[in-house]
Amino acid sequence: MVAHVATIDTRTQLLDAAEHLFAERGYRGTSVRAITDRAGANLAAVAYHFGSKAELLAAVARRVIEPINAAQAAGLDRLLARTADPAVADLVAAFVGPLFDEMPAGAESGARTSRLIVTILSDPAEETRAWTGPAEDTVRDRFVAAFRHALPDLPAEELWFRLRGILAVTAVDRVNLYNQRPSTSGSGEAARDWAITFLAAAMSAPPTGT
């Protein structure tokens, strides 16, 4: 029970290895053997510590998403403490920023985080669903309400479309469409700012006319 180790926990090393490999090759594309090799652990360690590969994925997802949700909630709190009517651009920044910035322990860069999320979520395997908890839903619903308040003329369906657009753009560096390199160059900070510019304008567009 007590931490009686000089080296890092096998469990943690499995989480780190799995996070890296899932982000890079997807859930189906990553074998348990690849994970345990990278972690320097035995093949059976995944079953022992997590029960199954699917449960390891759930543990990885939870570890990645938790700090993002906390940061999003904190950002929204900060915004609402300042004014009851936040601007659309500020809401976008509060929602998108953590997706670029947050960096779970053991990972190397924030960009990898969103890549992992989309890799997980765009995987059609059943195991990669059903991981969101009440915390995620709460944060999302609060943002929905805030956007609805800031954009009273936008029909609910179109608002949902736009919210999914936000997530899609945030994950843009994962989907290297048209054989583009994932991220053109340099800092992820620039990408975050570009995304906020891009999405704030998109969210502020007037509703699509009939």
* Angstrom distances, CA of residue 149 to CA of 91, 119, 154: 11, 32, 10
Query: Is 101 one of the binding residues for a second copy (CB under 8 A)?
Result: no
Q: Residue 207 carries which DSSP code?
A: P
What is the closest distance, in whole angstroms, from the C-beta atom of residue 168 to DNA in the complex? Answer: 28
Stretch that binds a second copy, among 5-13, 31-39, 48-56, 158-166 (CB under 8 A): 158-166
Determine if 46 is a binding residue for DNA (CB under 7 A): yes
Among 33, 129, 148, 164, binds DNA (CB under 7 A): 33
**Is residue 161 at the binding interface for a second copy, with CB under 8 A as the rule?**
yes
**One of 118, 146, 150, 151 touching a second copy (CB under 8 A):** 118
Q: What is the token pair recorded at 130? A: 């059903």
User: What is the C-alpha to C-alpha distance for residues 38 and 204, in angstroms, rounded to an integer?
Assistant: 45
CA distance 180 to 87: 33
Give the pair of three-digit tokens for residue 196: 């906020």
| 32 interacts with DNA by CB under 7 A | yes
How would DSSP label each residue in 43-84? TTHHHHHHSSHHHHHHHHHHHHHHHHHHHHHHHHHHHHHH-S
Chain residues that interact with a second copy, rule: CB under 8 A: 24-26, 28-29, 117-119, 121-125, 129-130, 132, 136, 140, 157-158, 160-162, 164-165, 167-169, 171-180, 184-185, 190-191, 193-202, 204-208
Chain residues that interact with DNA, rule: CB under 7 A: 4, 10, 30-34, 41-49, 52-54
